[in-house]
Amino acid sequence: MGTVYSSILPKHEEFIRKQRIFFVGSAPLTADGHVNISPKGHDVLRILSSNEVAYLDLTGSGNETSAHLKENGRITFMFLAFEGPPMILRLYGSGNVILPSTPEWTDMAKHFDILPGARQIIHAKIETVKTSCGFSVPFYSYDGERDTLQKWTNNKSEQDLEEYRKKKNSISMDGIVTPIGESFS
């Protein structure tokens, strides 16, 4: 079953800071909707308090997490130990989307180095922290970050990025309009 906590403890924060990748899970309310699990690389996660985290979300081919947060707010973060002692750590909470055009952006963005392709910040209040053994998680070596997204983004104009987001990031695969999609209406 693992161990359950009501907040991120200093030992959890230390573990999270060492991870080079994390995963975000979300789902729509409808039973036939798609559960989404999204990997996140780069130095984009910030622990704001023992019950609050945020990450800088970069442009991608979909925007499921944003749609699900708009619809129901539920979000789960998962961190895995790929080196050192085994452990899996999950953060369960409720989140919201902060777009660059909103007043909240200025205060939240100061926590990040804004990377090329940044489209929104996902902010979450954490209600439950759970650790489990991770005994079957394999060892993996970290070779570095991919620069593909930054290269792709740097070859686009702001208008190109806006058109891409309008086409690819406005509606989830289950038909939920995202906050980015709302910004175009």
Structural domain spans, the chain: 3-172
Give residue-wise pLDDT tens across range 102-112. Answer: 999 999 999 99
Specify the pairing of strand 45-49 against strand 52-58.
antiparallel
pLDDT of residue 185: 81
Is domain 3-172 in CATH 2.30.110.10, yes or no?
A: yes
- The pTM score is 0.96
Cα–Cα distances in Å, from 58 out to 2, 115, 116, 168? 32, 8, 8, 13
Residue 10, C-beta contacts closer than 8 angstroms, at least 6 positions apart = none
Q: Is 85 left (phi over 0), alpha (psi -120 to 50) or beta?
A: beta
Taking the C-alpha atoms of residue 74 and residue 123, their distance in angstroms, rounded to an integer, is: 11
pLDDT of residue 168: 97
Give the DSSP letter of residue 65.
H
Q: Give 10-residue mean pLDDT values along the chain (185 residues).
A: 94 97 98 97 97 97 97 98 97 98 97 96 98 96 94 96 96 97 92
pLDDT of residue 71: 97
Are the C-beta atoms of residues 127 and 51 closer than 8 Å to each other?
yes
Are the C-beta atoms of residues 12 and 129 closer than 8 Å to each other?
yes
Are the C-beta atoms of residues 184 and 119 closer than 8 Å to each other?
no
End-to-end distance of the chain based on CA atoms, in angstroms?
Answer: 45
